[in-house]
Structure 1
Amino acid sequence: MAPYLLLALFLLPALAAGHQHPSTYGSSALSEWRSAKASYYAADPEDAIGGACGFGDLGKHGYGMATVGLSTALFERGAACGGCYEVKCVEDLKYCLPGTSIIVTATNFCAPNFGLPADAGGVCNPPNHHFLLPIQAFEKIALWKAGVMPIQYRRVKCLREGGVRFSVTGRSFFLTVLISNVGGAGDVRSVKIKGTESGWLSMGRNWGQIWHINSDFRGQPLSFELTSSDGKTLTNYNVVPKEWDFGKTYTGKQFLL
């Protein structure tokens, strides 16, 4: 298992308020390269399951190993989950693969190690901008011997196959919805839900891209209004049918690029 990945799935109270913070990345920043560093972990099959964004099985949800764990300065308490980044190796002629870059999706959190200084081992400590990549992704831009590498990154639009997915879990009057496979900006910043017996109600960020609300929607078709970090809104009317059940996933429309 990766030493820096936060793979334990538990409810972090701080993540619940993540969507209240304004996005660092507006549409004007999509082509702006920024400096950071990257390292890798030797991924095993267990690393494709779980993660601090709540996506669960990354292969099932279409992310595979083209993923990244973000340091505290980038993770934004889970609000950055689902966003896409183009990453390229820079400055190191010995280990960089010239002319290469990769596109990765934020699916995890690179936890800080406050037992070490930020400039001497605590690679994911604030204020560092750090990308922790599966070795399969890292080796597309640099040789594995590089260890911790200087990189440049920028936010890019996410290209997804199919529509946005809504995975419904919970119990009676407590509803949680994992929102995945989001195109465009990729990171959903606010969610509203509507049943046939209610108006539009705001959902809270439980953690990562799992959203919750305390209300009983059983027996009602459900509609969702999503707003991403670039300010675009997507409404999926009745995407979850009247006969929905906990544990099922439903697919709706996708954000237009």
Structure 2
Amino acid sequence: MAPFHHRWTLTIFLIVVAIISLVDRTKAGGYGTPSGFQATPWKLAHATFYGDETASATMGGACGYGNLISSGYGTDTVALSSVLYNKGCACGQCYQIKCVQSSSCYSTTVTVTATNLCPPNPSQDSNNGGWCNPPRTHFDMAKPAFMKIAQWKAGIVPVSYRRVPCVKKGGVKLSFQGNGYWLLVYVMNVGGSGDIASVFVKGTKTNWLPMSHNWGASYQAFATLSGQALSFKITSYTSHETIIANNVAPSNWQVGMTYQANNNFK
């Protein structure tokens, strides 16, 4: 039989190994760590605002979400400079923004959703009016959102920002346009990373068909899909997670209608 102190040393060693194993599994995304997109480190940028207190000028936008109130995005939205917008791949991403290093700052941090593009203006200097010129990282916020972090009379303020998971109620929403031979779908209310890398559609009479990126958060399929119940396979741009929304649209689906899946990214 091993001496008592040897057995005690072995017991301590095994406990330490178990703890290290638990920490490693947690870091690797095992139990104890939620799956999906995680908040990124804070970075520095600048922010301005557009529109008025009603945010009416922010409706529509380059992501194609239409009326942001009825779409569920509200007035805490932002237009991204082209560096962040990434040709529409950033549509739906969520950011926390707080004003820093300015006497105009409030202590509030606001969470906004990317719904629009702030286009470059080559006729103006990047540090004097051409705020969204590449390679600047810039946020052009809806005025109600900007007024939560700074005095609006400041016009432009330095900010600290980070990507955060989008917390959405309900499943992904799919707004249909097009016709029986060309289906254009706007993908909205996306949780988790908030963004989309690819979309596939499947009818009850077809296999999975890839949908090409049209613009913003819209995807299209040139196929005869009328009279078929439709399922969608959606993959996140950032986290690479995939969800499948089976039979989300009935066989008598119509353009102009919005259909909601039962699942979403977390």
Of 75, 78, 98 in structure 2, the residue corresponding to residue 68 of structure 1 is 78
Look up the equivalent residue of 2:115 and give its one-letter code: T
Moved >3 Å (runs of 4+): none
2:155 to 147, 154, 160: 147
Structure 1 residues 50, 198: CA separation in 2 closer, same or farther (over 3 Å shift)?
same
Amino acid at match of 1:84: C
C-alpha distance in 2, partners of 1:61/1:174?
A: 23
* Alignment equivalent of 1:38, drawn from 47, 69, 88: 47
Query: Within 5 A, what are the aligned runs for 1:206-245?
Result: 206-228=214-236, 229-245=238-254
Give me the identity figure in percent.
44
Mark the CA change 1:79 to 1:256 in structure 2 (over 3 Å): closer, same or farther.
closer
Structure 1 or 2: more helix by fraction: 2
- CA-to-partner distance for each residue in 1:30-70, whole Å, 9 max, x for gaps? 23111110001233464243100000010010011110000
Q: Is the 8 A contact 1:182 1:254 kept in 2?
A: no
Paired residue type of 1:50: G
Q: Which has the larger radius of gyration?
A: 2
Unaligned runs of 5+ residues in structure 2 are 1-35
Counterpart residue type for residue 240 of structure 1:
A
Partner of 2:260: 251
Q: 1:256 to 1:210 in 2, by over 3 A?
A: closer
Alpha-carbon distance between aligned partners in 2 of 1:42 and 1:225, rounded to the nearest angstrom: 36
Residues in 1 aligned to 2:191 and 2:248: alpha-carbon distance in whole angstroms: 17
Pairwise CA distance, 1:172? 2.6
Q: Secondary structure at the residue paired with 2:197?
A: strand
Structure 1 contact 48–64 (Cα < 8 Å) conserved:
no
Give the TM-score normalised by structure 1: 0.86
Counterpart code for 2:255:
F
On the 8 A contact 2:48/2:140 being kept in 1, the answer is yes
* Structure 1 alignment gaps of length 5 or more: 1-25
Aligned to 1:90: 100
1:168-190 alpha-carbon deviations (Å, 9 max, x no partner): 11023111011101111111111
1:53 equivalent in alignment to 2:63? yes
Q: Which shows bigger deviation, 35-44 or 56-65?
A: 35-44
Question: In 1, Cα distance between the equivalents of 2:214 and 2:226?
Answer: 20
Normalising by structure 2, what TM-score? 0.83
Contact 1:166 1:177 survives alignment (8 Å): yes
Number of corresponding residues: 229
Separation (CA, whole Å) in 2 of partners of 1:107 and 1:49: 9
Distance 2:263 2:157 in 1: 35
Residue type at the aligned position of 1:85? Y
Over aligned residue pairs, what C-alpha RMSD do you find?
Answer: 1.4
Give, in angstroms, the shift of residue 245 of structure 1: 1.2
List aligned pairs for 1:11-30, cutoff 5 A. 27=37, 30=39
